[in-house]
A and B are shown apart, each in its own frame.
Chain A
Amino acid sequence: MIDNVVPVTRETLLAEAQRLADGGQRLISATAIDQGEYLEILYHFDKDLKLTHLKLEVKPGEEVPSISRVYFCAFIPENELKDLFGINISNIVIDYQGKFFLEDEAPRTPLLKSKPPEQGDPREVAR
């Protein structure tokens, strides 16, 4: 088990991130885990080799504020979450609109377990 997990909500996320930034913490990354009913997002921070995590639970389709105004570097993991999980993150500093990694031919939201209905296997089409 990992320790030092601080649960946050969508309202308190920005304030918590700001607090960590003021404390000189470095943002490592953000990870999303598909739990079926909801998605769990973990933001990992590090200071002097000690990890802190912020844990946020969101329902599909809910809007999550971007922390990239606090941590500029957050635009990369946030665009990734948007691409791979289809999480609706608003106000990212550089927003790739879901085209960060994925090309038009690729499946949408490939890491979600419950896939939205698709039109055939994209790989067959590309061939």
Chain B
Amino acid sequence: MGFISTARVKSPWIMHFETGSCNGCAIEVFAALTPVYDLERFGILNTGNPKHADIMLVTGCVSFRAGRVLRNLYHQMPGPKAVVAIGVCALTGGIFHDCYNLAPGVDKVIPVDVYVPGCAARPEAIIAGTVMALDRLAGKAGPPNIAPGEPRRGLEEGRVVEIAPGNSDK
């Protein structure tokens, strides 16, 4: 591995964005960053700036207004990048699936690489999910939770586009 890709995998910066749900998972993401669980021991650093981030942790069932911001943030991140969806809300809308103000699931808006289930997802699971995303950054593994050959759909500039597996960085 070259210098850049080593640095990227050894010290990825993460950004957390909450897209509108009960907050339980958002708080667990913070808990995973603080001393007891200590995600930072993997060289991971939390940042608020999308242009500095390599991994985006997304929690929450995507409400329409937050979805717009989420899409913006995703497009501002430089590639290669990975997205980790945390909590059943972020996976499918979970308990809020039938609410009127959301597009249930982060993958309806942006492509997702790692899915972490749980309501709320435990900090251990969040750490495991983030470490899985490191493989994705290193280019070793394709998106783990998607069956091979299955096209993924995302929303780009308001229209639905097909995103081929492993090709979401453009």
Contacts and interface: CB of A to CB of B under 8 A. Distances in A.
Interface string A86-105: 00000000000000011111
Interface in B145-170: 155, 160
Interface stretch (B7-15, B41-49, B100-108, B132-140): B100-108
Contacts of A123: 100, 102-103
B65 interface: yes
B104 to A, nearest CB: 8
B96 interface: no
Contacts of A105: 64
A107 B75 CA distance: 27
B64 A110 contact: no
Contacts of B67: 126
Contacts of B68: 103
Contacts, number: 28
Given A126-B64, A127-B108, A103 B103 contact: no
Interface in A100-126: 101-107, 110, 122-123, 126
Interface string B17-60: 00000000000000000000000000000000000000000000
Interface of A: 101-107, 110, 122-123, 126-127
A-B pairs, 6 with minimum CB distance: A103-B64, A103-B65, A105-B64, A110-B100, A106-B101, A126-B103
